[in-house]
Amino acid sequence: MLWRLPNTVSRLAIYIHGATASERSFAFIQKSIRSKDPIFLNYEKEGTAKDNLAEMIETLNSVKDPLFIVAHSLGGVYATYLQQEVDNVKGVVSLATPFNGSEIATWGAMLNPGYQLFRDIRTSSDFIRTSRKIDITVPWLQVVTTVGDVPWIQGTNDGIVTRSSMMCRDDIDYTEIDRNHYEVVLSKRVVDIIKKRVYK
């Protein structure tokens, strides 16, 4: 797992990528914002969600500055735990996060039961069900992606995650954007949202 922690800054932006992705997925956002010293939490895709989360908590608990999280997809589920376990998390912007898990992962886990990632983010996983019970105690905006619908996923979806999974929490704010699950990290509107909520 790769961590990049700057020595001293007054507030830190933490970026957490989605499943099967990396910090490169935030390249457009970073180029547009031109922020100094972003921190990317690059978790192990082959590791368990529990182990990945433990490493994130250990690392962020060593930082004393206010932390603001930007998370794509699965990264937002990790952020749910982090805002509870790390005292200085002050806010979150999540992009297309499947708070109620992924139906694609549920099917994938049946076809390939040994693949840990599918097991962790299927709709019935302990990781997902436990995250739903966690109260959100910081300002949180979820960007809901509204295009990309594919017929083999039950319910309106962005090609990967259902709208109902993205919008199942009642303790956060929502805004919609006409992008699919992957285009959301290439959106100028998302850049503006992050600038206002994280770098204000």
Amino acid letter, 134: I
Domain spans of the chain?
A: 12-197
* Structure confidence by residue, pLDDT tens digits, 148-170: 988 888 889 999 999 999 999 99
Give the chain's radius of gyration (CA, Å): 16
Question: Kind and range of the H or E element at 110?
Answer: helix 103-111
Alpha-carbon distance of 123 to 129, in angstroms, equals 8
CATH number of 12-197: 3.40.50.1820
Q: Tally the C-alpha atoms within 13 A of residue 157's C-alpha that lie toward its C-beta.
A: 18
Burial profile 117-138: b = 16 or more Cβ within 10 angstroms, e = fewer: bbbbbbbebebbeebeeeebeb
For the chain, list residues with pLDDT below 50. 1-9
Cα separations (Å) of 155 from 3, 60, 122, 129, 133? 37, 36, 16, 20, 23
